Amino acid sequence: MNTITKFWNQSNGKAFLSCGLLISMFSTAGYAQLTFDNGGTNTVDSDTNLAIGIFNGSGSFPDVTTVDFTAGDATGRARYQPTGEFTTLIAFENSVANISGGSLRDDVISEDQSTINQSGGTINGDIWVLRDSTFNITGGSIAGDALSFDDAILNINGGTVGNDVLANMNSVVNIDGAAVEDDVEAGGNSTVNIFSGSFAEDIEAFGRASVFIHGGSFDGAGRFDSGFSAGGNSLITIFGSDFKIDGISVPFGDLTSSTSGSNLMGTLASGDTFNVPFDISRNGVISLTAVPEPSTYAAIAGALGFLYVFNRRKRRAVS
């Protein structure tokens, strides 16, 4: 294992580094950077005032460049042009970052088929999961939003997200055991699967997106807005039993928009109970569905996995 401290400086949008694509988007005028591009495993375990960039820009390494961020405060920042936000760490081009401790000042970005794994530590900005990349969260905290776009995958299996969780542009978000302190939103043909966790505010679907709710605690839903909300040709499917609207039992199937504004209650597939207001608008659908058999769950998961891999490979081939 080696620790690399290679610096670059940038002025007027031009970087003195071979990976021009990454650096042209990673605008760092006036800021020094800590870069990793060696096809090896590297460690950051102490304070640094440098923004961190990880990538396989040279294309000559047989192995993936990996950085383990284990301790210390990373206070560097650079402006990432596609988002316009300040960034403290970006993983790009099939690289890997493992965050297990410490603190990062601003946003963290997984881009272009890279992977970031967070098991601890604190991210004081947003996380962005972009362009076929993956972000896995099993612990730690994110002070801002968790945002997934453009065929990316975000798995939240622990830890805390301080603001919204958003899936958009054909991305997938899976939540199982996390605390989300604001809304969960799905848009742009994306999918959100919720298996467990605590949710302080609303669950919203729009823009032909789908949300599948199997479990979780939704005590805060509807405090400030609509609770469960489906609009814009989107779908929210709730797996469970004993469903009632304002205390009156209702059968499995799609709810009608005429019942919007009422309270929906029931027992989810996980055994969690819920009682939240709901809203249906603009051809949205909220569907109440019986709990599938375990074998059905496995078959659905396998089919979705196959379709996702197939579509990703097809997309790469076209590009």
210-227 pLDDT, tens digit each: 999 999 999 766 665 668
pLDDT, mean of each 10-residue run, the chain (319 residues) = 27 29 46 81 95 77 87 93 87 94 97 96 97 97 97 98 97 96 96 96 96 91 75 97 97 93 95 95 96 65 52 46
Residue 162 within any structural domain of the chain? no
Residue 44 within any structural domain of the chain? yes
Q: How many distinct structural domains can be found in the chain? A: 1
Going by C-alpha positions, the residue among 235, 236, 212, 217 that lies closest to residue 275 is 217
pTM of the entire structure?
0.85
Residue 29 within any structural domain of the chain? yes
What pLDDT, on a 0 to 100 scale, did the predictor assign at position 173?
98
Q: Residue 305: which residues within 8 A CB-CB, separation 6 or more?
A: none
Residue 152 within any structural domain of the chain? no
Q: Identify the domain containing residue 37 by its residue range.
A: 1-110
Q: Residue 43: which residues within 8 A CB-CB, separation 6 or more?
A: 1, 3, 67, 68, 70
Residue 26 within any structural domain of the chain? yes
What pLDDT, on a 0 to 100 scale, did the predictor assign at position 221?
64
Residue 88 within any structural domain of the chain? yes
Q: Collapse the DSSP code of 317 into the 3-class scheme (helix H, G, I; strand E, B; otherwise coil) and give the result.
A: helix
- Compute the distance between CA of residue 156 and CA of residue 230 in angstroms, rounded to an integer: 22
